[in-house]
Chains A and B, each alone.
Chain A
Amino acid sequence: MPSLSSLNIAGSALTAQRLRMDVVASNIANAESTRTPQGGPYKRERVIFGPIEASSQSFLAGPGAEANAGGIEVRAIVQDQVPPRLIHDPNHPDADEEGYVAYPNIDLVTEMTDMLSASRAYEASITVINVTKNMAQRAIDIGRI
């Protein structure tokens, strides 16, 4: 069975975009979280993508190569360092001495845009998978009467 490396590369992209969706969902769900176990409000998270290093000439080596064909992976999930929003509410249990409550620095519009972008990237990788499958199918059909 020829190992179709495009399938594995696209599969890694699907995993990465799904993780990005998880982070976006977590950000949207925690938009009003003022109390984290570490103290302070929830900090917006974002994913950092990086390529999986394809071993040299893996594209030229043909189907016999067992080497890593490349792809994408999530390198890190980092917290945004933008300062939190301060809302003046002295009666809130989490208010500091001046009566300000620190809310997470999450903008719903930004999260929605990120979500849309993740969804489009997911669909693009699915298209890659479908086209690759079609190509393999056509190749097998060469032998069919």
Chain B
Amino acid sequence: MDIQPLLTGKPPISAGPKVGDAVGKSDGGFGKALGEAIDSLDRLQREADVQSAQLAAGDPVELHEVMLAQDQASLSLQLAIQVRNKLVEAYQDVMRMQV
């Protein structure tokens, strides 16, 4: 009696195109943009912190540079919060759809 192997040359299930790949490719642009936005937000916040610390320590840093850095950090944070709100709202709209 010939016992044929079960998997005769058929590729295993895990090697096929994944659903995640397709989603990743179509969302790659947006995900990358979001990551960059968060990086720049983080950079601005850190820069504002560093300059405030320098001012408090008495280093020769321009007063208006410190205030401008804080302004930019605060504006970029508000922008990020608004973007997050819009995303959450869109997600909730989609979830509310009747099947």
Task: Name A residues whose Cβ lies closer than 8 Å to a Cβ of B.
Answer: 1, 4, 7-8, 11, 14-15, 18, 129, 133, 136-137, 140, 143-144
- Set of chain B residues within 8 Å of A136, measured between Cβ atoms: 75
A15 to B60, CA, bound (A): 13
B82 close to chain A: CB less than 8 A: yes
Task: Name B residues whose Cβ lies closer than 8 Å to a Cβ of A.
Answer: 37, 40-41, 44, 62, 64-65, 68, 71-72, 75-76, 78-79, 82-83, 85-86
Q: Is the CB of B71 within 8 A of A7?
A: yes
**Least Cβ distance of A38 to chain B in Å?**
26
A8 to B72, CA, bound (A): 11
Q: Which residue of B lies closest to A15 (CB)?
A: B62
Main secondary structure, interface of B, reads helix
Q: Is the CB of A11 within 8 A of B75?
A: no
17 A-B contact pairs sorted by A residue (CB < 8 Å): A1-B37, A1-B44, A4-B75, A7-B68, A11-B62, A11-B64, A11-B68, A14-B62, A18-B64, A133-B71, A133-B75, A136-B75, A137-B75, A137-B78, A140-B75, A143-B82, A143-B85
Q: Which residue of A lies closest to B79 (CB)?
A: A140
A136 to B64, CA, bound (A): 18
Q: Is the CB of A1 within 8 A of B75?
A: yes
- Set of chain A residues within 8 Å of B68, measured between Cβ atoms: 7-8, 11, 129
Instruction: Tell me which of B79, B82, B85, B86 contacts A1 (CB under 8 A).
Output: B79
Q: Is the CB of B44 within 8 A of A143?
A: no
- Set of chain A residues within 8 Å of B44, measured between Cβ atoms: 1
Q: Which residue of B lies closest to A1 (CB)?
A: B76
- Set of chain A residues within 8 Å of B79, measured between Cβ atoms: 1, 140
**Least Cβ distance of B32 to chain A in Å?**
15
Closest 9 A-B residue pairs measured CB to CB?
A1-B76, A14-B64, A143-B82, A1-B40, A11-B68, A140-B78, A136-B75, A140-B79, A7-B68
Q: Is the CB of B82 within 8 A of A140?
A: yes
Q: Is the CB of B86 within 8 A of A143?
A: yes
